[in-house]
Structure 1
Amino acid sequence: MTSLIPLPPTILFILLCVVPLSTIILLLRRQIRQTRQPFAPTLAETAEQRLQREIDETSVDILTKSLFIALIPITIYSIYATQVALTAKDIDSAVLYTYLIGSALFIASLTRDVYRTLRRRRDLSLNRAGRLAVGQALNQLIPAGFRLFHDLPLGNRTIDHIAVGPQGLFAITSLVRPRTGKKREKEASLRLDGRQLRFPDGTDADSVTTAVKNAAQLNERLQESGESGPPATPVLAVPGWTIDHTAAAEQLQLYNGIEPIFLSRGPVLLNEKQIKSMAIHLARQLQ
């Protein structure tokens, strides 16, 4: 009987597998973290850029763990085959099973981590796509005299989108929520019930609270700068869902994220001078 300690040929094989792969992964991580836009070094990172960076990082994590999942059984078999071939002795069964059980547990742990990382990457990708869809759809308001701003910092978070135009000031928060299963269009609907959103698979009160708080903080910031005018209206955009009911919750506006034109159909509340003044202030906040 012989132990399962790797011999020099096995060690060389393992190094030839691990070193190139590890080098490539380290270079990928370094490239993601050090990538900067040379033409805009002073601009703050937008939410979409941050999400894309996190997506890239999770992709590398998935690649790294998947490679190790594939490499572990290959390594164990290489050690076993080399030991038997070079020593002409059988491996101690207890040692072999210890290695196999330990490897199986480690692979199971890595597989669980890969699954969780895949779910996180899906959520990040969905969030980024939803935010972009809402932001692009808001361009429909430009012909109506609106000015648009994105990713206004508010302490440890941001207001996703701000629209200021003749019909007032709107603080727009995006809520990107995946559908569970293959929902038919009738089932893929939500409604606002007082202070919470009701989805087919649950409720969400935090997003309503966040949207209202975002508008309140925007009002405070504008008041501190001496801006006058009607308060900002909280708006919650939920792309990909059908709005079944729009009962008001502290004047919250709820829509499907792709048809914002209704914001331009209310009474005129701001004149051109007020719109320009607010736009200048918001632009400075984003610098």
Structure 2
Amino acid sequence: MDDLLNQGLSLLVIVGSVYSLLGVLFLKIWLHQKNAKLPVERKKLKRVAAQTLSEQVNDKIVDVIGLIFLSALIVTMPFAIKGIAEVFASGELNYFLVILIALGLVYVARKLWVKSNLLIKLKLGRDAELAVASELIELQSHGYQVFHDIQADGFNIDHLVVGPNGIFAIETKGRYKRIKDDTNYKVKFEKNRLAFPSWFESKPLEQAQNQANWVNKWLQEATGFTTQVLPILCFPGWFVELKQRPEFPIVSHKQLVKTILSMRHISLSQEQQRAICYQVIQRSLHESKAM
């Protein structure tokens, strides 16, 4: 009877440890969903190439990882139960081992919290860029060439559009809509900064301009003729209100196509467009180096 009780306690310790870590993950997700929501709904976006297959691949990856974890658990659990049961049976706890296990669980829980937070941010960025890419599809019917995720020197250009009226480097910024802001999901450009309902930002403005400058310098060196790249800063799912005139367009993803079609700052010949597109295509073949 004592052996059965000790084994039951051992199983409880193992299962409790696993579920405590899962609890950290679900707590992080619950807190995030309670306080914020995505600016765009991915299911409402235009579907992209291989989207169904990508979703199936992601599901299968989760299944494979789950099976690997389950197989490891099946192999190690009997030994773990036996070892812990013997500790309970002896009546003498190895406090050093207990502290070591506790510290290990705390370390893993902390890493899980940080990684899940990073995963949430990455998902936001991915969905924001997909929303922009979905809108830019329309430009192809107007004779524009659209490129995505162009690798630069330690960073990437989210979207690059080449057309008869210029070159446009689009910097996409995903920002969660905080529940506490209710329906006031508006970003204002005033006093040379971006005013969100609960916070202010200015770095995206500098980043968009710097990246456009990089593209401009690179294309001039690569093509041999003078180019002028216009930055565009895009906040998918947000209503953008301009309280002052910005140096370059700041828009929601729904305003992108109309904004680009209306620009008349330069004129590119077919030969120039082909030369630019050739260089962009070659650059697109580079492996990702952005961090």
TM-score by length of 1: 0.64
Distance in 2 between the 1:286 and 1:263 partners?
A: 22
Distance in 2 between the 1:74 and 1:254 partners?
A: 60
Letter in 2 for 1:252: F
SS of residue paired to 2:108: helix
Cα distance, 1:83 vs. partner? Answer: 4.5
Match of 1:127 among 120, 125, 128: 125
Larger RCO (alpha carbons 8 Å, 6+ apart): 2
Partner of 1:82: 86
Cα distance, 1:90 vs. partner? Answer: 4.3
> Aligned pair 1:228/2:232, yes or no?
no
Cα distance, 1:209 vs. partner? Answer: 0.8
Partner of 2:252: 256
Cα distance, 1:74 vs. partner? Answer: 9.7
Letter in 1 for 2:116: L
> Aligned pair 1:118/2:116, yes or no?
yes
Distance in 1 between the 2:82 and 2:180 partners?
A: 45
Cα distance, 1:196 vs. partner? Answer: 2.7
Letter in 2 for 1:81: A
Distance in 2 between the 1:114 and 1:153 partners?
A: 29
Partner of 2:44: none
Cα distance, 1:73 vs. partner? Answer: 11
Deviation string for 1:12-66 (max 9, x for gaps)?
xx9xxxxxxxxxxxxxxxxxxxxxxxxxxxxxxxxxxxxx9xx99xx89x97xx9
Distance in 2 between the 1:246 and 1:277 partners?
A: 38
Going from structure 1 to structure 2, the CA distance change for 1:216 and 1:76 (only over 3 Å counts) comes to same
Partner of 2:91: 91
Distance in 2 between the 1:99 and 1:75 partners?
A: 16
Deviation string for 1:158-215 (max 9, x for gaps)?
21111122332111111112233354332x2212234432222322222111100111
1:163·1:171 contact (CA, 8 Å) conserved in 2?
Answer: yes
Stretches of structure 2 lacking an aligned partner (at least 5 in a row)? 1-9, 15-54, 286-291
Stretches of structure 1 lacking an aligned partner (at least 5 in a row)? 1-9, 15-51
Going from structure 1 to structure 2, the CA distance change for 1:144 and 1:80 (only over 3 Å counts) comes to closer
Letter in 1 for 2:131: A
Match of 1:142 among 134, 140, 143: 140
Moved over 6 A (4+): 70-77
Partner of 2:239: 242
- Superposition RMSD on alpha carbons, in Å? 3.7
Give runs of aligned pairs for residues 122-271 of structure 1, distance below 5 A: 122-181=120-179, 183-186=181-184, 188-224=185-221, 225-229=223-227, 231-245=228-242, 247-249=244-246, 251-261=247-257, 262-267=259-264, 269-271=266-268
Alignment identity in percent? 23
Deviation string for 1:119-143 (max 9, x for gaps)?
1111112211211221121112222
Distance in 1 between the 2:155 and 2:117 partners?
A: 23
Higher helix proportion (structure 1 or 2): 2
SS of residue paired to 2:254: coil
2:186·2:197 contact (CA, 8 Å) conserved in 1?
Answer: yes
Distance in 2 between the 1:104 and 1:74 partners?
A: 21
Partner of 2:45: none
1:170·1:234 contact (CA, 8 Å) conserved in 2?
Answer: yes
1:73·1:103 contact (CA, 8 Å) conserved in 2?
Answer: no
2:170·2:231 contact (CA, 8 Å) conserved in 1?
Answer: yes
Distance in 1 between the 2:237 and 2:243 partners?
A: 16
- Bigger Cα Rg: 1
Deviation string for 1:56-95 (max 9, x for gaps)?
9xx89x97xx99xx999998765342355xxxx6412xx3
1:193·1:247 contact (CA, 8 Å) conserved in 2?
Answer: yes
Distance in 2 between the 1:80 and 1:221 partners?
A: 63
SS of residue paired to 2:109: helix
